[in-house]
Amino acid sequence: MRISEHSRAVVLLSGGVDSTTTLAIARDAGYRLYALTIQYGQRHAAEIAAAERVARAFRVDRHLTVPVDLRAFGGSALTDDIPVPHGKPSDPIPPGIPTTYVPARNTIFLSLALAWAEVLESEDVFIGVNALDYSGYPDCRPEFIEAFERMARLATRAGVEGKQNLTIHTPLIALSKREIIQRGLDLGVDYGMTLSCYEPSRTGAPCGTCDACRLRAKGFAEAGIRDPAVRAA
């Protein structure tokens, strides 16, 4: 890759499989890592602890956790009094956009990443969105990411002054969950640190039946390996 050894990347990190794999890919490409976690009032606040474990294990240059309480707006099973859907592990994920969709979440996350990138003089933002084995969220699609990138290049002082030509990197966007996990394992990721569940127990153990748990279990099953986080739980 054509990056200099001082190139900094802002990597959105939730502490789940996808963002942790994305962090590993950015590290492998040679970037200095600036991990950004958003505490948005999510039901599954245990994922903040997972993000901290991951950031420590990766020895990132800096890990920022920024609170933005999206419960103020509500409208999602993750931020409001709306039940999280559960199903049998073997059930397929239903089509359509589920109630766990959080209005404008990735737009907000990428906007905050853009702000930090400008201050860091970074041109590279990484986000672990995936449009294949995913939950149907509109803000995970390539056309959304491309439109965000176009907008972001007009949004900042650094962009206007020609000092920043922002790229939103989405290395997982076309991968299956199995491929994501295999890529991470190739890069030495210990998925035992990660948490994907939307509704973990108070001790942070995954429920096993929400969409996020089921997508994760499907990925590990297809990769033919045992999920170390489930074993640990």
Q: Which residues bind a copy of itself (CB under 8 A)?
A: 64, 66-70, 72-75, 97, 101-108, 111-112, 114-116, 118-119, 137-139, 141, 143-144, 147-148, 150-152, 154-157, 159-161
Selection from 13, 17, 40 nearest residue 212 by Cα: 17
Report CA dihedral (200, 177, 133, 21) to the nearest 10 degrees: 70
Select 13 or 181, whichever has its Cβ closest to a copy of itself.
Answer: 13
In angstroms, the Cα distances linking 6 to 9, 19, 29, 32, 143 are 10, 22, 12, 7, 30
Select 25 or 78, whichever has its Cβ closest to a copy of itself.
Answer: 78
Select 37 or 194, whichever has its Cβ closest to a copy of itself.
Answer: 37
Min separation Cβ 70 and a copy of itself, Å: 7
Select 57 or 115, whichever has its Cβ closest to a copy of itself.
Answer: 115
Min separation Cβ 158 and a copy of itself, Å: 8
Select 86 or 141, whichever has its Cβ closest to a copy of itself.
Answer: 141
What is the C-alpha separation between 134 and 122, in angstroms, rounded?
28
Min separation Cβ 102 and a copy of itself, Å: 8
Selection from 113, 143, 135 nearest residue 211 by Cα: 135
**CB distance 116 to 36 below 8 Å:** yes
**CB distance 127 to 107 below 8 Å:** no
Min separation Cβ 202 and a copy of itself, Å: 26
Q: Which residues pair with 126 in a beta bridge?
A: 11, 169
